Amino acid sequence: MIFNVASAEALHNAMQKWQSEDFEKAIAWLFDQANDAQVLELATFACTLRDRIYGRRIFMRALLEFTSFCQCNCYYCGLRSEHRQLERYRLTESEIIESCKNGYALGFRTFVLQGGEDLYFTEERMTRLIKQIKATCKGSAVTLSIGEKSAATYQQYFDAGADRFLLRHETADPSHYAQLHPSNQTYEQRMRCLKDLKKIGYQTGAGFMVDSPGQSIKTLAKDLMFLRFFQPAMCGIGPFVAHQKTPFAQFENGSAKHTLILLSLIRILLPKILLPSTTALATIDENGAIEGFNAGANVLMPNITPILKREHYTLYDHKKNSGTEGAETFLQTCRMIEAEGYIADTRRGDHIDYC
């Protein structure tokens, strides 16, 4: 019996009272001492809580990586501004709309616009794009993942029709944050952005890399404490995957096992959360997508970026960007999900509190 509790509900209730030291002990034990049966029991608890709220549905989001230009210089990211050998691209407005129309025809009703912090996409351009997507793809949700902006800019995009915003907090430890970013990118600024997004009314997503350089059991415990406090609608976590053109090129990739354990812990801590099985997990583990679902995840983001552009959106080395990860094999992806007893759901798939 894991953590001396007999049910998923009992563990959820206990975790609401845990302090940072309790999370540290739990994470350390699960990473280093728990056997396969105990990790499976944790995952079973997670899936039980997920299924009671969302059923066996896996919400499918159409991911459009619309620009690889970025003014930021994050030490872990292959799009960092100092990676000058990267062949960068930005889609035209017509290419973005056409990609969304193609995804809409496949049945997608959520479009995730993800890109670096590209100054070309001004408030005017982004506002126009959001309105066009909402008008063209009736009944769809628009999710933005475009980095740090002012509160006024976030408000403008929300007023234009954006529904959700993904902005990983990266770490809830300021010292660790400084290890991952140059000095002009601060922990305080990231937290300000997340607070603004939630106050405005976005379904707001946080998240972090697993086994990133400088991460520890203590910082992971802080991450879980932060998630419990912040109550995000979404949380994107995946293993750290090194990129050869970054300062972290020589660091080992993160662990799939650690990622799956943390997916289960987050689901038990926050049963209502929307939790993706990420591309990074599928990159380091061939069966990562399904294993993520079996650990408690319930979101997948097939890529609708034009094929010739995908190879240039290199957040990390060997990023999975073809096969079942591409929308051109959408039916294959759905069959894979359904073969495992899940339901591929292309509807909006809002957080239960926003329905």
Would the pLDDT of 235 be above 50?
yes
Domain that holds residue 147: 60-354
Output the pLDDT for position 283: 87
Contact between residue 264 and residue 295 where contact means Cβ atoms under 8 Å apart:
yes
Domain contains 186: yes
pLDDT greater than 80 at residue 239: yes
pLDDT tens profile 275-295: 999 988 988 898 999 999 999
> Quick check: is 254 in a domain?
yes
The answer to whether residue 154 scores a pLDDT higher than 70 is: yes
The CA-based angle 127-129-131, given to 5 degrees, is 70
pLDDT value at residue 31:
98
CB 112 within 8 A of CB 91: no
Above 50 in pLDDT, residue 156?
yes
Percent of the chain with pLDDT over 70: 94
For the chain, the C-alpha Rg in angstroms (whole number) is: 19
Report the 10 Å Cβ neighbour count for 191: 16
In this model, does residue 258 exceed pLDDT 70?
yes
Of 129, 62, 65, 67, give the one whose Cα is nearest residue 102: 62
Question: Across all residues in the chain, what is the average pLDDT?
Answer: 93
5 belongs to a structural domain: no
The number of domains in the chain is 1
Q: Residue 166 — pLDDT band, cuts 50, 70, 90?
A: very high
**Which tens digits make up the pLDDT trace of 8-30?**
999 999 999 999 999 999 999 99
Q: Is 9 contained in some domain?
A: no
- Is residue 66 within 8 Å of 111, Cβ to Cβ? no
Domain for residue 51, yes or no?
Answer: no
Alpha-helical (H) ranges within the chain are 8-15, 20-32, 36-54, 93-106, 123-136, 151-160, 174-180, 187-200, 217-230, 256-269, 279-284, 288-294, 307-310, 330-339
- Close Cβ partners of 119 (under 8 Å, ≥ 6 residues apart): 69, 71
Is the pLDDT assigned to residue 183 strictly greater than 80? yes
**Residue 158 counted as domain residue:** yes
Lowest mean per-residue pLDDT among 21-30, 86-95, 185-194: 86-95
**For residue 349, what is the domain's CATH number?**
3.20.20.70
Q: Supply φ then ψ for residue 319, to 5 degrees.
A: -60, 130
Cα–Cα distance, 46 to 54 (Å, whole number): 12
Stretch 112-122: mean pLDDT, rounded? 97
Q: Is 61 in contact with 327 (CB distance < 8 Å)?
A: no
**Residue partners of 303: CB distance under 8 A and separation at least 6:** 63, 64, 65, 279, 310, 321, 325, 326, 327
Between 89 and 205, the more confident residue is: 205
The residue among 217 and 6 whose pLDDT is bigger is: 217
Give which of 166, 26, 159, 68 is closest to 110, Cα–Cα. Answer: 166
Cα separation, 176 vs 329, in Å, equals 39
Q: What is the pTM (predicted TM-score) of this model?
A: 0.94
* pLDDT for the residue numbered 315: 47
Query: Quick check: is 30 in a domain?
Result: no
Q: Is pLDDT above 80 for 320? A: no
In a domain, 239, yes or no: yes
Q: What is the mean pLDDT of residues 268-276?
A: 98
pLDDT of 332 reads 87
Look at residue 322 and tell me whether its pLDDT is greater than 50: no
